[in-house]
Chains A and B, each alone.
Chain A
Amino acid sequence: MIRLSMAGTGAILLDAAAGPFDAATQRRIWAAARALGGAPSVVQAVPGVNNLLVTFDALHTEPDAVEQLIRQAWAAAAAEEIPAREVEIPVTYGGAFGEDLALVAKHAGLSEEATIAAHLAGRYSVAAIGAMAGFAYMTGLDPRLAVPRRDTPRLSVECRAVVVGGGQAGVMPCTAPSGWHIIGRTTLPLFDPHRPDPGFLRIGDTVRFTRVA
Chain B
Amino acid sequence: MIEIRANSALNTIQDRGRPRAMTLGVARGGAMDMLALACGNMLLGNEPDAAGIEIAFFPFRLRFLDDRAFAVTGARGPVRLDGVDLPPDWAVIARAGQTLQCDAPTEGCRTYVTIAGGIDVPLVLGARATDLKGGFGGLEGRALQKGDRLPCGVPATPGVPPHGYGLAVRCPMPDADATRVRVLPAAEYDDFTAEARHAFFQTAWRLTPSANRTGYRLEGTPLAQQRPLNLFSHGIVPGTVQVPPAGQPIVQMADANTCGGYPKIATIIESDLRLLAQTRVQGSIRFVETTRADAIAALRAEARDQARRADAFAHLRRMLIPA
Residues of A within 8 A of B (CB): 3, 5-11, 13, 15, 17, 21, 37, 43-53, 55, 58-59, 63, 128-135, 137, 166, 173-174, 176, 191, 193-194, 198-199
Contacts and interface: CB of A to CB of B under 8 A. Distances in A.
Given A55-B19, A63-B296, A8 B25 contact: no
B134 A193 contact: yes
B36 to A, nearest CB: 19
B35 to A, nearest CB: 14
Given A7-B264, A193-B137, 20 more contacts: A5-B186, A7-B186, A46-B235, A46-B259, A47-B23, A49-B233, A50-B232, A53-B235, A55-B19, A58-B299, A63-B292, A131-B25, A132-B134, A133-B133, A166-B261, A174-B134, A191-B134, A194-B136, A198-B24, A198-B125
Contacts of B22: 44, 46, 53, 55, 130
B47 to A, nearest CB: 17
11 contacts: A6-B186, A7-B267, A11-B267, A44-B19, A53-B235, A55-B237, A128-B233, A133-B21, A191-B25, A193-B134, A199-B24
B296 A9 contact: yes
Question: Of residues B21, B235, B240, B295, which shows the largest number of chain A Cβ atoms within 10 Å of its Cβ?
Answer: B235
Contacts, number: 148
B131 interface: yes
Given A174-B134, A176-B133, A9 B295 contact: yes
A52 B237 contact: no
Contacts of A10: 237, 270, 299
Interface of B: 19-27, 124-125, 131, 133-137, 184-187, 231-237, 239-240, 257-261, 264, 267-271, 292, 295-296, 299-300, 303
B24 to A, nearest CB: 5
Contact of A48 (B124, B131, B234): B234
A7 B260 contact: no
A130 B240 contact: no
A13 B240 CA distance: 12
A8 B134 contact: no
Nearest to A20: B232
B23 A44 contact: yes
Given A48-B232, A50-B232, A53-B235, A193 B124 contact: yes
A17 B240 CA distance: 20
Nearest to B238: A8
B104 to A, nearest CB: 27
A200 B135 CA distance: 17
B136 A6 contact: no
Which 6 residue pairs spanning A and B have beta carbons closest together? Answer: A53-B235, A130-B259, A48-B234, A49-B232, A8-B267, A5-B187
